[in-house]
A and B are shown apart, each in its own frame.
Chain A
Amino acid sequence: MHDEKPWPSRLFALIYVMGVLLMVGNAAWHYLMGDFLRILLPAVLALLLLGATLLHLTDPRYQRPSAYLVLISSFLLLAVELDQTSEAIILWIGLPPLLALLLLPPSSALLLNLLLAPLWLVLPVDGQVTYDMAFTYLAIIILGALAPLEQRRQQALLEATDPMDSECQALNASAIHELLDSEFARATLLQRRLSVLAIHLPQLEMAHEQFGARLRLELLQRFCSVAHHTCRAHDSLGRAQTSLFWLLLPDTGETGALMVRNRLISALDATVLAETGAIASRIAVCSPHPSETWTTFEQRLQIKGQALMESTH
């Protein structure tokens, strides 16, 4: 999901404009050299790049197609130029893989580079490419991919250590399970009470189908803020399944939990969204019996949640 987050669009457009200028410069150079036949390609490609720039600016969703447009135009120009010069080939064949790595996600860039490698190595005329050059080239393809891969790894690590749900202000499923485990252990060891509210939001699925992702997000966020306002600071809200939440109430007996449940229901009733009306909710209270084990309690909680979800259908 985060991979598709738009890059800073204007700065990128700036780079693309620089590319256009380089293409125009190339065309102008050929014009000054009197090499009129070779003007056409860079001129056309400059227009193509301009198109890619506009595409990038209009909608961040088009960043991938526009990146491919940039790659195609610069590869074409480079291939034609390489075909006609005999000088400094080694410098220029390094450019295409690096450009691909900068514009595409690491795995597709690596694949593209490996596929195109023979082409770039064969293209220069009369056996200028030695084994050494081929190995150096291979090395830059592989080593170049390390930097974006490292970035991706860091991102994955951050996501794995982030306990929050990606859509709303609640703990994610693994975090809330872990917390339930620890709160249960605490309640057992310290001989304190514990209650859990299982909350099902029946409108969530319907909101997505009928009104799209925006309403679904709004519904989630409104629910979370209402829930946080209703409960105490040390209670924790987590999203056990897509439309099922758990609210852990440490040091609270069944009666206390029922009070929280009623408060929450009335607060949700008062929260009105324009499209769906008040937020509907189904809430069950679950408290561990004395001498109940962790597994049976969790099973009971799961079954209660399941029953809540099925009763609405």
Chain B
Amino acid sequence: MDSKYKTRSFRLTLLFGAGVLALLALRATQEAVQALLWLGALWLIGTATLHELSQRWPTHTPWQLVPTLLLASLLWLSPLQFACWLWAFAILLILPQPWWLVTFNILLATLSWWRVQAYLSTEQSMSSALILAALMLLGLIRSLYYRPLWQGISERVRLMPGTRLWTASQLLEDLPRESARSDREATHTELVLLRTQHRYCWSLAQALSRQLQPFEHCYRVDGRTLATLLTSRDIDHARQRRDALLASLHGPRRTRVISLACPLTLDAECEALAKQSRDLVIIEKVPSHA
């Protein structure tokens, strides 16, 4: 599974990068530079180890800020030693990132160039500015090409390859479909919403996935709320399955179970779940055809 997502070579490069940074840190004379290089090495090691974690939920934190700031501050502190890193601003731009970050990146690149050009002759500083601008444009164009991909990542419906864990947008699609299907097939389907604390969310999702049947899925509504659609033969079967499911889950949580036979919207139910005072609320309505 690892090699399929090119994680191994990526992780190896991360660790190599961290090693080289540590080496540079050992040789650095300025204390501030040393600290920054160690910081960079630690960040790379952290990224390499927490890699799996970042695959679980799509993150929207602007982590691209870290390398940009590190690069800019190193160039500011020791422009002569790190002059050859100036061009790396262009490569940082190829990562798709929010537009404010792109602007910030360009600003920092200009600032760093200003710092470096103090040591250059006029013609060299002019030509380096032009080349840097061209390279950054090249980087931006490449990021434009990958932007749809990046948006696809944050909007992908399945959160992790190989698991039955899906996004809220998929739940919104599945809700009307399952409700229509249970009507037609005369089965009983209910929406189960589980609200827990942030840190229990992942383990709860795993436990939930283990308990579900192959045709049922676990959805992540937000950072603390999980959902599933429980499909059973009839209402007695549903009660039996629901009790078994809830008994097998551990950890603090609030649960809300609503039969799909009731008219419902996901937003309203999530709000009701957040406000409900009891730990377990079950809204059952015997379907009209039963």
Instruction: Using CB atoms and an 8 Å cutoff, list the residues of chain A in contact with chain B.
Output: 5, 7-8, 11-12, 14-15, 18-19, 22, 25-26, 29, 87-88, 90-95, 98-99, 101-103, 107, 110, 131-133, 135-140, 142-158, 160-163, 181-186, 189-192, 233-234, 250-251
CA–CA, A91 to B115, complex, Å? 12
User: Do B141 and A93 have beta carbons less than 8 Å apart?
Assistant: no
* CB < 8 Å neighbour of A90 from B83, B95, B160, B177: B83
Partner of A25, one of B127, B139, B159: B127
> In the complex, which residues of chain A have a beta carbon less than 8 angstroms from the beta carbon of B91?
98, 101-102, 144, 147-148
A183 to B215, CA, bound (A): 6
Contact of B232 with A190 in the complex, beta carbons under 8 Å: yes
List A contacts of B180 (CB < 8 A).
234
Mostly, the A contact residues are helix
Contact between A162 and B137, CB atoms less than 8 A apart:
no
- Shortest distance from the beta carbon of B274 to any chain A beta carbon, whole Å: 29
Chain A residues within 8 Å of B146, by CB: 151, 154-155
B24 and A146: CB pair below 8 A? no
Q: Give bound CA distance, A185 to B213, whole Å.
A: 7
Residues from chain B with a CB closer than 8 A to the CB of A26 are: 127
A22 and B134 contact, CB distance less than 8 A = yes
A26 to B127, CA, bound (A): 9
- Can you name 13 A-B pairs with beta carbons within 8 Å? A25-B127, A88-B120, A90-B80, A91-B124, A136-B84, A142-B16, A149-B13, A150-B10, A153-B6, A157-B5, A189-B233, A233-B177, A234-B181
- Whether A94 pairs with B24 at a CB distance below 8 angstroms is no
Known: A91-B116, A139-B21. A158 touches B233 (CB 8 A): no
Collect the chain B residues with CB atoms within 8 Å of residue A147's CB: 91-92, 94-95
Is A99 touching B17 in the complex (CB atoms < 8 A)?
Answer: no
Q: How far is the CB of A156 from chain B (nearest CB, A)?
A: 5
Residues of the B chain whose Cβ atoms lie less than 8 Å from the Cβ of A92: 84
The answer on a CB contact under 8 Å between B138 and A135 is no
Which chain B residues (223-251) contact chain A, with CB distance < 8 Å? 231-233
- Is B27 at the interface (CB under 8 A from chain A)? yes
Given contacts A146-B17, A154-B153, A155-B149, contact A95 B87 (CB under 8 A): yes
B289 at the interface (CB under 8 A from A): no
B45 sits at the interface (CB 8 A): no
Whether the Cβ atoms of B135 and A102 lie closer than 8 Å is yes
Instruction: Identify which of residues 161-192 in chain B touch chain A, using a CB-to-CB cut-off of 8 Å.
Output: 161, 177, 180-181, 184-185, 187
- Contact between A182 and B215, CB atoms less than 8 A apart: yes
Among B13, B83, B123, B149, which residue has its beta carbon within 8 angstroms of that of A158? B149
| Contact B84 A93, beta carbon cutoff 8 Å | yes
Q: Are B94 and A151 in contact (CB under 8 A)?
A: yes
| Chain A residues with CB below 8 A from B23, complex form | 135
**B254 touches A (CB below 8 Å):** no
Chain A residues lying within 8 Å of B127, measured Cβ to Cβ, are 22, 25-26
Contact across chains for A94 and B233 when beta carbons are under 8 A apart: no
The interface residues of chain B lying within 8 Å CB-to-CB of A143 are 17, 20-21, 88
Q: Are B5 and A98 in contact (CB under 8 A)?
A: no
Residues on B with C-beta less than 8 A from A145 are 13
| Partner pick for A161 among B20, B94, B158, CB 8 A cutoff | B158
Interface: B128 (CB within 8 A): yes
Closest to B113 in A: A91
- Is B200 part of the binding interface, using a Cβ–Cβ cutoff of 8 Å? no
